[in-house]
Amino acid sequence: MKNVLSIVLVIIALNSTIAQDIQYVNAENGLAIRAQPNRSAMRLNLLDFGTVLEVVEHTNLNLDVINNGKKLSGEWVKVRSIDAYDTFEGYVFNGFLTQEKLQKQFKSKYDEFTVTIEGLTEKSQIKDAINPEFNTVTMYKLKDGETLEGKIVKVKHHQEFRSIKVFQKHENSIAISDDKSHCDMIQWQHYYSSWKPLKTVRNNHHFEGLPISKEDASRFIEVDIEALKSVVKEDCGVSWSESIKTITSINEYPVSIKVSKHYLRIVMTDIDGYKTEKIIIFEVPVHQSTSVYAQR
């Protein structure tokens, strides 16, 4: 009898695991999780867009919410995390849940404010090997096809403030490529655009990323062609050196200019007039620029 009971319990456990109701947070500004299924209950946390949850219990406690002028109807549901390193359990409004698989948005958190970017996926920060605790400048890598252009940059303040401003610029580098491979001069000379302010959209805490034209993506400083050939021979090898031995400018095939980094500068002035400035750098995939910016 004990063996039969054990088998039944194992089957129930397996079915429970297979039948998990997995859903994703679909609230752009985050979803509050509470200790009890009502709005006045203690808020345990604010769950990021794309957070994965298991719905473990329906309460049948219905709720209507107005979001951006539209009515959302749903109910309170009990949820738990499925992340072994970030365990929690509580109640959320399921009008902001979806079964569609979503990825967490990019987020960079500081003491004074948090920066999130709609349409850009979560990324791991590239640590500074010399000073890993330095966070005035943080760096991340973009995936293929990702860009800041047209993206909504949201700055959520953690304290009273007078103003929040966001600026953008980009870096161009020299690339040497053919249809099969490439050699990028990321550590050599660069062109840097000037800082341009982002315009606010929706409200004063949302900013829209600037487009980069084909002309802006191809700008560069004057370079010594012979110096370039020497660096290519040392860094890229004989075959690439041979491929550029007859060029007289950086606009001749197989040499081209590419956008290699995007920069954001966030400046917040607090209520006492003290300014906090953070810079976020995004490395662009080495082979992306030709296809992305040549169309603009």
Per-residue pLDDT at 91: 97
Residue 121 to residue 128: CA distance in whole angstroms: 21
Cα-to-chain-centroid distance, residue 32: 21
Percent of the chain with pLDDT over 90: 54
pLDDT in tens, 9-45: 444 444 444 558 999 999 887 899 999 999 999 999 9
Structure-token pair, residue 270: 């607090």
Residue 294 predicted with pLDDT over 60: no
Per-residue pLDDT at 130: 56
Beta strands in 70-201 (DSSP E): 70-81, 89-93, 97-98, 105-109, 113-121, 137-141, 152-157, 161-177, 182-184, 190-192, 196-197, 200-201
- The confidence band for 290, taking pLDDT boundaries of 50, 70 and 90, is very low
Residue 99 predicted with pLDDT over 70: yes
pLDDT in tens, 229-247: 999 888 888 888 888 989 9
Q: What amino acid is encoded at 230 in this protein?
A: S
- The confidence band for 128, taking pLDDT boundaries of 50, 70 and 90, is low
- The confidence band for 288, taking pLDDT boundaries of 50, 70 and 90, is low
Q: What amino acid is encoded at 130 in this protein?
A: I
Per-residue pLDDT at 14: 46
Per-residue pLDDT at 1: 53
User: Is the separation of the CB atoms in 257 and 192 below 8 Å?
Assistant: no
DSSP string, 163-227: EEEEEEEEEEEEEEE-SS-EEE-TTS-EEEPPPEEPPEESEEEEEEPPP--HHHHT------HHH
Per-residue pLDDT at 132: 60
Question: Which position has the token pair 């805490």?
Answer: 205
DSSP string, 247-285: --STTSTTEEEEEEEEEEEEEEEETTS-EEEEEEEEEPP
Per-residue pLDDT at 8: 46
